[in-house]
Amino acid sequence: MTKPIRVLVPLDSQDAEALRVALGYATKIRETVGPDVQDVILLVHTKNQLDHTGLSRFLGAANVKALGKGPVPLPGGARLHAGTMKTLRYPPRKSVVVVYYAEPKILDYVDGLNNVVGVVAVPDLPGEADAWVDRWGAVVHGQAQQPPATLIDDPVFAGAMETLSGVVNLSTGLGHPRDKAMANEILRILRAKGHADQSANLKSWAIRRGWRPDDAADLAALAKKIWALKTKPSLSGFHDPIGRYERWRTGS
């Protein structure tokens, strides 16, 4: 499956224009990906946001009621579904997801879904999707497209994380004790060698690299914990810390 197309609509979520533009992008994404994509999912945090906010006024009472029972038709033969973080698991067919009232938690949730060919995010407050835009280099409505941000600008640190990502089972993240121990060793070696804390962007880096969002968050939390240590960690007992570090440094 090709990389999803991601778009940010930084318009006032309390204005009907935001929904109109977001659905327009969903249509463009469907047309770009191909005729087999006919499903658009309007995703909110809770059902209450669908029928008791400005979004319900934009959709209209009849459509809100119909969405509670099933999809409603969109132009071109497409179907609009409604979903929440509780009800939406994995779309059964290739879909475009319109994330309304977007913020980091719900965007991480969508990053963990399968069968998503496009994501259109409408944040509730300005700046709430900025990290997501940096993570993916998302198209921002009204702006020239920018490449994905360099989330880790320390090449040795990035090389070490690539090594970790290559040996960890990405379907379980740090869930296996062996994989958590490997991450712990690598991060402690980096801290002992004087590298700066990269935990602020490490979650986004890991998600981009293929980690599941929850597992990427665990990795970032572990890094933050290690850099919070009052003294540099001891490397005694680790296998070949000098050689491993040299390979990250040289890329060999």
Q: Give 43's strand partners.
A: 83, 99
Would you state the pLDDT for residue 1?
Answer: 56
Residue 52 has pLDDT above 90, yes or no: no
Q: Are 149 and 134 in contact (CB under 8 A)?
A: yes
57 vs 122 pLDDT, higher one: 122
Mean pLDDT of 191-201: 96
Q: Torsion angle of alpha carbons 68, 73, 74, 77, nearest 10°?
A: 140
pLDDT digits (tens, 9 = 90+) for 13-34: 999 999 999 999 999 999 999 9
Would you state the pLDDT for residue 234?
Answer: 93
Would you state the pLDDT for residue 232?
Answer: 93
Residue 108 has pLDDT above 70, yes or no: yes
Q: Which CATH architecture has domain 5-140?
A: 3-Layer(aba) Sandwich (3.40)
Mean pLDDT of 179-205: 97
Would you state the pLDDT for residue 92?
Answer: 83
Mean pLDDT of 157-174: 96
Would you state the pLDDT for residue 77?
Answer: 86
166 vs 252 pLDDT, higher one: 166
Distance CA 240, CA 73 (A): 61
Would you state the pLDDT for residue 145?
Answer: 84
Q: How high does pLDDT run on average in the chain?
A: 94
Residue 173 has pLDDT above 80, yes or no: yes
pLDDT digits (tens, 9 = 90+) for 211-231: 999 999 999 999 999 999 999
Alpha helices, H only, the chain: 16-33, 47-51, 54-59, 61-67, 104-111, 130-136, 155-167, 177-192, 199-209, 213-227, 241-250
Mean pLDDT of 105-126: 95
Residue 147 has pLDDT above 90, yes or no: no
pTM for this predicted structure: 0.91
Q: Are 173 and 214 in contact (CB under 8 A)?
A: yes
Would you state the pLDDT for residue 91?
Answer: 84
Q: Are 110 and 85 in contact (CB under 8 A)?
A: no
Would you state the pLDDT for residue 222?
Answer: 98
Q: Are 183 and 168 in contact (CB under 8 A)?
A: yes
CA angle 46, 175, 200 (to 5 degrees): 65
Q: Which two tokens stand for residue 231?
A: 């003294």
Mean pLDDT of 1-19: 92
Mean pLDDT of 108-122: 96
Task: Identify how many contiguous H helices and E strands the chain contains and give both numbers.
Answer: 11, 7
